[in-house]
Amino acid sequence: MASDTGASYGSTLRYKSVERIKAVGKHSLIGASGEFSDFQEILRYLDELTLSDHMWDDGNSLGPKEIHSYLTRVMYNRRNKFDPLWNSLVLGGVKKGPKGEEKYLGMVSMIGTHFEENHIATGFGNHLAIPILRAEWREDMTFEEAVKLVEKCLLVLLYRDRSSINKFQIAKITTEGATIYPPYSLKTYWGFSHFENPAQGAVGSW
Amino acid sequence: MFRNQYDTDVTTFSPHGRIFQMEYAMEAVKQGAATVGLCSCTHAVLVASNKPASELSSFQRKVFRVADHVGVAFSGLTADGRVLTKFLRNECINHAFVYEAQLPVSRLALRLADKAQVCTQRSWKRPYGVGLLVAGLDETGPHLYYNCPSGNYFEYQAFAIGSRSQAAKTFLERKFEGFNKYTPEQLIKDALSAIKETLQGEKLTSSNCTVAIVGRIEDGTAEPFQVVDTKRIQAIIDSMEAAEEAPAEPSSMQEEDKGSDAAPMDI
């Protein structure tokens, strides 16, 4: 999972070192876009949930599917009360089931729409990143290949989404656990000839 | 157990720290028809002996499916058992609705135990007069729990409750160490043998017992909780009897010896 580390306040890019992807329990990652304070509230709910699950200490633990379902219920119920949590949530995880390792990736929207897919994106990612992922995703990618693909998407979003910033975080979840890598930037290229003297060929009244 | 001045309601302790109403509730369990449960490391089996109220009536149903992965069998006031089964089904459904996953058996047993405990601490309630054997499968494997009217619950490898259950327990105590390696078929056989001990000479047939099984087969697929078909049970009973009769003479001598050495059966 990857996201940038920016949080805006209207059109102001107010916070630039925000972690938008967090580990949940032993088996999942949650990433969010939208209202950051609502995301913090959701993290609090998940904390309570995973804590009581952990306290059982009975060998059972909540997997990504259970957490996805739970969040769907929360989001949908809030929507029905006309008081939504204004987020798009991405839930990913890996859990060992009786038939082997089961990978899971899904999303929940602020109105409770939820589904499971091999590639998920929020906001502008739906329009810019998903087509790239649909064309180039394969079931048997290595972690390095996946990072490269995700960076390709992030770069497009950086160029074209004005609310994105050039500081990203990648997060990985496997049966061994979750890793959230430190933030880093991507190299961008702005040396196009048209940017040098943008008004050169412009048709204008003065 | 004799009547005394501390047994009027469940909110009174005796000077020795006992709550008699609770113990009387557990007596109700002992009066019910026998029920046996066994666990291996892949399957859990429940067997209930069916006692009709009279020759004209059908027998009381005591084995119920609670969810695909869990079922119960009970002894005692079966009406209380039915109501608790409805509660258990509700808990499983609610959990499945929110989490789209099966409620782990230990957590279900706890909720049942907490509900039973409430009835031991309210002056306007009475304890549930039924003991439940909860058998189910979750991601940590098959489990068998016994829930008491007192609100206590324990996990068991094998257990028997109800009238003449001590005979079944004695049988199970001899054999339980090998249960983990049993196939589902062997588990059903031993469960039937255990129930047979409680029948005290009456013949075991597929019409006077109900068998249910839940578990996971080798490739990881779960077999949902279901009552085993009477034809299959009769076939298993027949094969058990054939195995007993086969070594005819030596076994009849052995049985006589066993008769004098065996512990007296508790009634």
Secondary-structure percent of chain B, ordered helix, strand, coil, rounded to 5: 40, 25, 35
- Which of B203, B201, B207 has the alpha carbon at shortest distance from B167? B201
Average pLDDT over residues A100-110: 94
Q: How many residues belong to chain A?
A: 206
Average pLDDT over residues B110-118: 96
- Could you read off the pLDDT of B54-85 as tens digits, one per residue? 888 888 889 999 999 999 999 999 999 999 99
Q: What type of residue sits at position A16?
A: K
**Considering only CB atoms, which chain A residues are within 8 Å of B104?**
58, 60
Q: What is the DSSP letter of A14?
A: E
What CATH number is associated with residue B232?
A: 3.60.20.10
**Considering only CB atoms, which chain A residues are within 8 Å of B101?**
63, 65-66, 69
Reading the block at residue A195, the tokens are 């940017």
Average pLDDT over residues B86-107: 96
Structural domain includes residue B71: yes
Structural domain includes residue B260: no
**Gap between the Cα atoms of B103 and B84, Å rounded:** 16
Q: What is the pLDDT of residue B257?
A: 44
CA of A67: which chain B residue's CA is closest?
B99
Q: What is the pLDDT of residue B243?
A: 85
Structural domain includes residue A90: yes
Q: What pTM does this model have?
A: 0.87
Give me the sign of the Cα torsion angle A83, A68, A153, A165: positive
- Could you read off the pLDDT of B6-22 as tens digits, one per residue? 999 999 999 999 999 99
Number of domains in chain A: 1
Contact flag A100-B140 (C-beta cutoff 8 Å): no
* Residue B19: Cβ-neighbour burial (10 angstroms; 0-12, 13-18, 19+): buried
**Considering only CB atoms, which chain B residues are within 8 Å of A100?**
220
Residue B49: pLDDT over 50: yes
Q: What is the DSSP letter of B52?
A: B
Mean pLDDT taken over chain B: 90
Residue B251: pLDDT over 60: no
In this prediction, the answer to ipTM > 0.90 reads: no
Structural domain includes residue A36: yes
* More reliable by pLDDT, B214 or B246: B214
Q: Do A165 and A4 touch, CB atoms closer than 8 A?
A: yes
A–B: how many Cβ contacts below 8 A?
42
Round to the nearest angstrom and report the end-to-end CA distance of chain B.
16
**Gap between the Cα atoms of A132 and A138, Å rounded:** 12
Q: What is the pLDDT of residue B260?
A: 46
Contacts of A119 (CB under 8 A, 6+ apart): A105, A129, A130, A133, A134, A137
Q: Do B10 and B180 touch, CB atoms closer than 8 A?
A: no
Residue to substitute from B98, B145, B154, interface A, most A β-carbons within 10 A: B98
Domain of residue B41: give its range.
Answer: 30-242
Q: Give one DSSP letter per residue of A109-157, joined into a string.
A: -TT--EEE-S----TTHHHHHHHHHHHH--TT--HHHHHHHHHHHHHHH
Average pLDDT over residues A100-105: 92
What CATH number is associated with residue A20?
A: 3.60.20.10
Q: Do B136 and B71 touch, CB atoms closer than 8 A?
A: yes
Confidence of residue B26 (pLDDT cuts 50, 70, 90): very high
Structural domain includes residue A63: yes
Name beta bridge partners: B158. B38
Residue to substitute from A46, A54, A66, A72, interface B, most B β-carbons within 10 A: A66
Contact flag A99-B219 (C-beta cutoff 8 Å): yes
- Which of B35, B120, B39, B129 has the alpha carbon at shortest distance from B82? B129
Number of domains in chain B: 1
Structural domain includes residue A202: no
Q: Which of A59, A69, A98 sits opposite B99 (nearest CB)?
A: A69
